Structure 1
Amino acid sequence: MQSIDLDRGTRTARCRGGEVALLPKEFSLLETLYRHLGRTLSREQLLDAVWPMESPTDRTVDDHVYRLRKKLAAWNDLYEIRTVRGAGYRMEAVGSADEPLPHPLLDDPEHAERMRRILDANLLYGRGDALLALLKQRELLGFEPAPYMESYAAFVEGRYREFTEGNAPFEERAFYLLHLYHMLKPAASRPLVEAALRRRLLTPVYHTELERHNLIFMLRDWGEREASEALFRKAWTEAAGGGEASNLLPYLANLKLETLIDTGDMPAAEEQIAWMERSFSPFPYLREEGLFLVLRGIARYDRASGAAEADFENGLASLRRSRFVPHWLNGVHTLLKHAERNGWETVARRYRPEWERLMERTEAEALLPAIEAELRRRLL
């Protein structure tokens, strides 16, 4: 059966060669119904999803459904928005001879666990291409990912507008909004991050990630070196103890290397580089490898610019291949920060256009006022 292609950028729906332009709320309503194809959603659920910060009435939903039905009339033989008396609305694929049967593996807990492990493995190894392909083929593969994976996929692809205009609860979006805000305005992020942690407004998994790991580099950026180091030692002890936590060792090692570079302790930085070169082989993580090469180049640029430039190129190439846009952004941002701090004009001129392309692609800088406004309204 033909699927509906939803383009958030232009707020258009495409199917079977046709295209329908929608108003913002119409698009959000269609997106919500289509994402829950075959499931009845109450008017209250639709109000929460499409009008989260407003106070419309049930009649608002009815009016928008009416208009949406008229605009999608050409595809009535494929999809239909049905009224479920006393319950709400449900979008359904209209039955046809070639309509596939529900996937039998959807109700198989062992298959669900296998797919979860495959997703986690691709996440761990920095294979954003495989991770995103799996999520987009969920129906074909017969599994339903955890709800938070929708937000994570948007973050991985750099679809940051979804965090200011999307339908996900603030408790999920806040983690990503804080991450983006800190990258662009690190000095101003402190009261917002501290308020989020103090009030425990994030979902438990995001709260833990922010408190135990992200706060290490945030404290460093705020000039709180001792607090950052104490938190780093705690995380390192936990990761060095083995088990799943050991997967964090490359991430933490990069944090330590960057801190040594920031403080100008180049002998210690060289020792850290040598240790990482010996120890990275059990951890073939594309994202961490890419950032390590960028950091190694930064540490050695003043003494061996040619080799350092090769590290910059190879490191950013790894980050691009990972398809994890936030890590790619961080790699370019880190390189430009040190280039400008050290007066490496050639490096800055070479990589500033890449940063500008990423800003255009993700709209991060353009969305900054909206990000800041929502964080301040919700947290302060």
Structure 2
Amino acid sequence: MSAITFDDSRFEAECGGIRLELLAKEYALLRFLYTHANLVFSREQLLDRVWPGEYPVDRTVDDHVYRLRKKLKAARGPKIETIRGVGYCLTLRPEAGGAAPSLRDPSVQEAMNGVFARYHRIGQGRAMLSLAEQRQQLGFELNAFYRLYIHFIKGDLGWFLDKEEAPMSERIYWLLLFDMFADTPQPKASLCERALRLNALHAEGHREMEILNIADLYAAEGRIEEAAATIERGRRAAAEQELEGFVVPIEISALYVSLLADDPSAAAEQSAKVAELLKAEPYLRELAGYRMLEGARMILTGREAEGSALLDEGLETFEQSGFVPHRLLSLLRTCGVLRRRMPGSEAERRCCCRLASEYANFGPAEHWPRLESTIEQYLNELERTKT
């Protein structure tokens, strides 16, 4: 069985020396299935990943799979199998030995990825990384989202820029998030707005950017009213769509906005609201982010010793959680608040020195010069294909 090579710049694929004549969506579907070989995807999942922002019918997937099977068979390529009652799977068999039976068992795959989802929800990134390292022995594969997310947890910006294990259409959301916590002076919200207009992000990323992520950028750029409107939109979406995992992050973002808006009473009220929510759900990632913003709030109200201690406590909690990007973003938020409200103060200087030290430890800064150019290049190419 021959391997497949892909050329994303030309949307061309080759198998066993034979060039596959593919339509655009056939290429996208094959690229996705090959990248996530041996994993089973339902029609709904494939529609979401390959046709984001479009409204084709389930039969669309079946028709594309039918045509791909004929072309792969002619090139003696891998098979796309139908997993009865579940969906489709492109099978790549190992050269020697056999695949663990659990890799083909949808129940095992669903259960293990469910464990990942729960660790994600409660903010235990280290547990996620540990489980990911054992997936071969345990006989399971991560789903499409978590295969990328484990690199995000580690803050591995170089992987997202250079590796082609996933197409740029799946990496672009994560690159935009990395751009969010880059301590660079240029405005960033416009890039995210453009990505939203172009439907450049997968469905989950589009939703999260629209109702949560972009609020931080608006606030940091002084667009407080737009930030507040985004948060209100997020609150409504979380309530209407029962997005429980969004509730606390949205309220923490609201605390950040109130601090930048120089509204002490609103910040105190919002802080109390988040603290009450965290009593019921004291998840590490959110708890750490809250502690750091609350530390900044205390510093602003003259309780510098208490605030500095809470900042340190927040960083220690982030160390326990293992989420590098959230740690950097929280530090950037805190520095942003102190820069805006207490410029030139000792508290601001210490916080910004700590941020610089964290960037040095985790290394994303070395990739910043080409981060935005990579994002812009992809959005330019996408814009050309849509016009």
Give the TM-score normalised by the residue count of structure 1: 0.72
8 A Cα contact 1:340 1:348, kept in partner: yes
SS in 1 for 2:6: helix
8 A Cα contact 2:285 2:326, kept in partner: yes
Counterpart of 1:358, as a letter, is E
Q: Is residue 264 of structure 1 aligned with residue 262 of structure 2? A: yes
8 A Cα contact 2:296 2:307, kept in partner: yes
Counterpart of 1:258, as a letter, is Y
Q: Provide structure 1 residue ranges, at least 5 long, that are not aligned to the other structure.
A: 1-38, 63-83, 96-100
Counterpart of 2:181, as a letter, is M
Aligned residue in 2 for 1:115: 112
Cα distance change of structure 1 residues 295 and 225 upon mapping to structure 2, 3 Å threshold: same
The more displaced of 157-166 and 176-185 is 176-185
Q: Alignment length, in residue pairs? A: 309
The offset of 1:241, in angstroms, is: 5.5
Using the alignment, how far apart are the partners of 1:250 and 1:222 within structure 2? Answer: 23
Aligned residue in 2 for 1:74: none
What RMSD in Å do the two structures reach over aligned CA positions? 3.0
**Identity, % of aligned positions:** 24
Using the alignment, how far apart are the partners of 1:234 and 1:225 within structure 2? Answer: 14
8 A Cα contact 1:172 1:206, kept in partner: no
The offset of 1:140, in angstroms, is: 1.6
The more displaced of 177-186 and 257-266 is 177-186
The offset of 1:108, in angstroms, is: 2.3
SS in 2 for 1:281: helix
SS in 1 for 2:280: coil
The offset of 1:311, in angstroms, is: 0.6
8 A Cα contact 1:160 1:362, kept in partner: no
Using the alignment, how far apart are the partners of 2:296 and 2:177 within structure 1? Answer: 23
Q: Is residue 47 of structure 1 aligned with residue 15 of structure 2? A: no
Aligned residue in 2 for 1:80: none
Aligned residue in 2 for 1:149: 146
8 A Cα contact 2:16 2:76, kept in partner: no
Alignment of 1:120-269 (within 5 A): 120-167=117-164, 168-184=166-182, 185=184, 187-240=186-239, 243=242, 245-269=243-267
8 A Cα contact 1:41 1:87, kept in partner: no
Using the alignment, how far apart are the partners of 1:198 and 1:272 within structure 2? Answer: 31
Using the alignment, how far apart are the partners of 1:223 and 1:337 within structure 2? Answer: 11
Aligned residue in 1 for 2:321: 322
The offset of 1:85, in angstroms, is: 11
The more displaced of 217-226 and 109-118 is 217-226
Residue-by-residue CA offset, 1:124-168 (whole Å, 9 max, x unaligned): 111001111112211222222112322211111011101111102
Counterpart of 1:176, as a letter, is W
Using the alignment, how far apart are the partners of 2:133 and 2:330 within structure 1? Answer: 27
8 A Cα contact 1:158 1:361, kept in partner: no
Using the alignment, how far apart are the partners of 2:334 and 2:216 within structure 1? Answer: 16
Cα distance change of structure 1 residues 348 and 222 upon mapping to structure 2, 3 Å threshold: closer
The offset of 1:186, in angstroms, is: 6.7
Using the alignment, how far apart are the partners of 1:147 and 1:264 within structure 2? Answer: 41
Counterpart of 1:114, as a letter, is A
8 A Cα contact 1:40 1:88, kept in partner: yes
Cα distance change of structure 1 residues 59 and 250 upon mapping to structure 2, 3 Å threshold: closer
Aligned residue in 2 for 1:336: 335
Cα distance change of structure 1 residues 61 and 152 upon mapping to structure 2, 3 Å threshold: farther
The offset of 1:94, in angstroms, is: 4.3
The offset of 1:60, in angstroms, is: 12
Residue-by-residue CA offset, 1:321-371 (whole Å, 9 max, x unaligned): 111100110122122223333136433444444423432344322211211
Using the alignment, how far apart are the partners of 1:180 and 1:347 within structure 2? Answer: 25
Aligned residue in 1 for 2:81: none
Using the alignment, how far apart are the partners of 1:379 and 1:268 within structure 2? Answer: 38
Q: Is residue 105 of structure 1 aligned with residue 64 of structure 2? A: no
Counterpart of 1:146, as a letter, is N
Cα distance change of structure 1 residues 222 and 87 upon mapping to structure 2, 3 Å threshold: farther
